[in-house]
Structure 1
Amino acid sequence: MVFSNFTVKEDMLQILPMKGQTRGEDIYNTFRTYAKSINMPLHKLSAITTDGAPAMALLENTEDKEHDLILHTEVRWLSKGKVLTRFVNLIEEIKTFINDKKENYDELADSRWLIDLGFLTDIMEKLNSLNLELQGKHKNIAEMISSVKSFKAKLDLLISHLQINSLVHFPHMKKMLGNNELDGSLFIKHLQVLKKQFEERFLQFTLIEPIVSFCINPLLAK
């Protein structure tokens, strides 16, 4: 409470048990009923904070190592990849939570959608790793060219593995696939488009690579 002389006092008012659901509406109604019973002037109340939301309690009850969910609104590009990874790691707990809420999201029961999600998660993790390699102090152009060149070679490797239906480099996609049949043709096209975009975006790297190689080691430069 804040008094007229601007002093602030904190005190325990009451412990109110929650029965059944613990939605924001339920918490509000329980508190409102109690506040009315003691004639509390609600018009002077400025804010209410709560803890122990069902989503968090579920993760603790299942003893999952991911006790916090990342809230994705407009976050940094790198964080989006982390959101996908966290979501896929918690997919079964999320399904349980939604079922308990008696809600329905068709995508979570759509094997095609889940496989696409796994593929996107794997690719975003690899892009995030490349992004981190290109950042930081003391990075020279030779190291950056090497990182981009290695990533383009990695894309060729990923394409070759998908052509034989190997998911050794796609752990999240493999998890989402389960016992379903894999049709890698669409994912191969996505990777081919990604490689083309990389070649166009980093065209300057390709043009100056011979010069950089000569500066690093003139004897080995072609």
Structure 2
Amino acid sequence: MQEVVSIVNFIKGSALNSRLFEQLCVDFGSEFKHLFYSNVRWLSRGKVLRRLVDLRTEVHIFLNEKKHQLAIRFHEKPWMLKVCYLDLLTSFNELNTSMQGRDQNIIVLSEKISAFKEKLQLWKGKLSRGKTGAFPSLT
């Protein structure tokens, strides 16, 4: 996660890098999504991981052009698999936001947590058999 944050901070650290990256995304025809990470809000971790996975080609090209030291990480399959696995945080974010708001009581919340625990066990079984359908970024 620290390397992902370092990559995002490099891109967003200067206005020039941010504009160049945005233009690169436009040139590739990809939907530009702002890369932003806030250490204060843990919910942003899942979002920034999803965006990095979605824009991995563009980020890799940008880092190569800038000769950034972490550009080589995008060639390392184990590192990319770890980043995609960390994308599981998105599911935790969805659980967290579904548990907020009105009309929530202890029964509904405990059912959501129980269902999520069962889903994690299901995913664990599928991953042990090599099936990654529940994790689109891993495929």
Instruction: Please indicate the TM-score interval, normalised by the length of the shorter structure.
Output: 0.7 to 0.9
Query: How far apart are residue 90 of structure 1 and its match?
Result: 0.2
Structure 1 residue 111 corresponds to structure 2 residue 95: no
Which residue in 1 is equivalent to 2:20?
Answer: 54
Query: How far apart are residue 52 of structure 1 and its match?
Result: 7.4
Q: Is the 8 A contact 2:33 2:51 kept in 1?
A: no
Query: How far apart are residue 119 of structure 1 and its match?
Result: 0.8
Q: 1:94 to 1:150 in 2, by over 3 A?
A: same
Q: Is the 8 A contact 2:21 2:62 kept in 1?
A: yes
Following superposition of structure 1 onto structure 2, how do residues 23-172 of structure 1 map, counting pairs within 5 Å? 53-65=19-31, 67-105=32-70, 106-121=72-87, 123-172=88-137
Q: Which string of whole-angstrom CA distances, capped at 9 and with x for unpartnered residues, describes residues 150-204 of structure 1?
A: 0111011011101211101111112xxxxxxxxxxxxxxxxxxxxxxxxxxxxxx
Q: Which string of whole-angstrom CA distances, capped at 9 and with x for unpartnered residues, describes residues 71-121 of structure 1?
A: 214241212111110010000011111122233423222110100111111
Q: Which string of whole-angstrom CA distances, capped at 9 and with x for unpartnered residues, describes residues 19-59 of structure 1?
A: xxxxx7xxxxxxxxxxxxxxxxxxxxxxxx87972111111
Letter in 2 for 1:168: G
The TM-score with structure 1 as length reference comes to: 0.52
How many Å separate the matches in 2 of 1:145 and 1:58? 45
Q: 1:50 to 1:127 in 2, by over 3 A?
A: closer
Structure 2: state its 5+ residue gaps: 1-13
How many Å separate the matches in 1 of 2:22 and 2:73? 22
How many equivalent residue pairs? Answer: 125
Which of structures 1 and 2 has the larger relative contact order (alpha carbons within 8 angstroms, sep 6+)?
Answer: 2
Identity between Structure 1 and Structure 2 (%): 28
Q: Is the 8 A contact 2:74 2:80 kept in 1?
A: yes
How many Å separate the matches in 2 of 1:64 and 1:72? 20
After TM superposition, the structure 1 stretch with the greater mean CA deviation from structure 2, 72-81 or 157-166, is 72-81
SS of 2:100 mapped into structure 1? coil
Structure 1: state its 5+ residue gaps: 1-23, 25-48, 175-222
SS of 2:138 mapped into structure 1? helix
Larger Rg, first or second structure (1 or 2): 1
Letter in 2 for 1:60: V
How many Å separate the matches in 2 of 1:99 and 1:51? 13
The TM-score with structure 2 as length reference comes to: 0.81
Q: Is the 8 A contact 1:116 1:173 kept in 2?
A: no
Q: RMSD of aligned C-alpha atoms?
A: 2.0
Consecutive aligned runs of 4 or more in structure 1 exceeding 4 Å deviation:
49-52
Letter in 2 for 1:143: V
